[in-house]
Amino acid sequence: MRLKPISNESEYDYWLNWVDEAFDKQIKPGTIEGDKLSVVLLLIKDYEDKNYSIPSADPIEVIKLKMEEKGLKNKDLTQILGLDKSYISAILNRKKPLTLTIAKQLHKQLGVSAEALLV
């Protein structure tokens, strides 16, 4: 198949299979085939960006995941954010809104992605 922008699912499937085979052959960067692989990967990414939307992450779930990663409990957030435990619980149970001020603190103190919090 000639190299051109991917316009449908059958072309997309073809190039995905081609990439799998290229990886199996361990094509080296900087070679003609390596350059072709780089271009095909860009074409695949472009097609996926246009045709497969990725839903935004839920901000509360992102916070909970970050807490789990860092081994934090609700009471730990009370010290970090300066809020009482019941207010933290209300936010995590979606009974109180996640304010911009709290989102900024979570971003600065825990490293939670600002983009994920502002969805």
DSSP state of 95: S
Q: Quick one: residue 55, left, alpha or beta (phi over 0 = left, psi -120 to 50 = alpha)?
A: beta
Q: Are residues 35 and 76 in the same domain?
A: no
| Structural domain boundaries, residue 69 | 59-117
- Nearest alpha-carbon partner for 80 in 70, 93, 90, 65: 70
Predicted TM-score (pTM) of the model is: 0.57
Asked whether residue 40 falls in the same domain as residue 80, the answer is no
Which are the contacts of 94, defined by CB distance < 8 A and separation ≥ 6? 60
Is 33 in the same domain as 76? no
47, 68: one domain: no
The answer to the question of residue 92 being in a domain is yes
Mean of per-residue pLDDT scores for the chain? 92
100 close to 114: Cβ distance less than 8 angstroms: no
Task: Answer yes or no: do 73 and 98 share one domain.
Answer: yes
Q: How many domains would you assign to the chain?
A: 2
Residue 36 and residue 83 in one domain: no
What's the token pair of residue 118?
Answer: 């502002």
pLDDT band at 87 (very low <50, low <70, confident <90, very high): very high
pLDDT digits (tens, 9 = 90+) for 33-78: 999 999 999 999 999 999 998 788 899 999 999 999 999 999 999 9
Give a yes or no: residue 4 inside a domain: no
